[in-house]
Amino acid sequence: MTQIAPLTLDTADTATAATLKAVKTKLGMVPNMFATLAHAPAALNGYLGLSETLGTGRLSTAQREIVALAAGQANRCQYCLSAHTLIGKGAGLSAEAIAAARSGKGANALDDAIAGFARALVEQRGVVATEAIASYRRAGLDDGLILEVIANVALNTLTNYTNHIADTTVDFPVVAV
């Protein structure tokens, strides 16, 4: 049972409703996670701003989905795994690449390092061994990419935790954790 019910365009204040309408225009729907975050407009706007900014980074859309899937699996977030499985397909990830990302793996050395590092960040609470970092570097992660993966994990951890606490109803094709 949902613990924090999503707002609707009718129940949100004017400014938040305008933000949700913009989300609907961009995505064609207002996902329950966004409508739930709308209870705290600063959190919703922070999420949207960071997401948009990270979209201008060096990680491709598919690589950002790899991070989302690796983090979502490590955090056991059914909502995010369901959403990012669908979004990942739209970003060009195959079913095999999606399954690999969920297990912290990738189809090539760089994607493997991205997925492995993202999963390690979550599982090890940000304390990743120097030897592991060296391995990710050898696979192609430089300082900038390391920091982008960290930022994307932080963004996804926000949604993973929100969905756990709110018990957000999944409004995407449901994927098992």
Q: For 79-132, write each residue's pLDDT tens digit.
A: 999 999 999 999 999 999 999 999 999 999 999 999 999 999 999 999 999 999
Structural domain includes residue 85: yes
pTM attached to this predicted model: 0.96
Confidence of residue 1 (pLDDT cuts 50, 70, 90): confident
CA 23 – CA 153 distance, rounded (Å)? 21
Q: Which domain does 65 fall in, by range?
A: 61-165
CATH number at residue 103: 1.20.1290.10
Residue type at position 175: V
How many domains are contained in the chain? Answer: 1
Structural domain includes residue 97: yes
Structural domain includes residue 7: no
Structural domain includes residue 68: yes
Where residue 27 falls (left for φ over 0; alpha for ψ -120 to 50; beta otherwise) is: alpha
Q: For 47-79, write each residue's pLDDT tens digit.
A: 999 999 999 999 999 999 999 999 999 999 999
User: The tokens of 139 are what?
Assistant: 């696979």
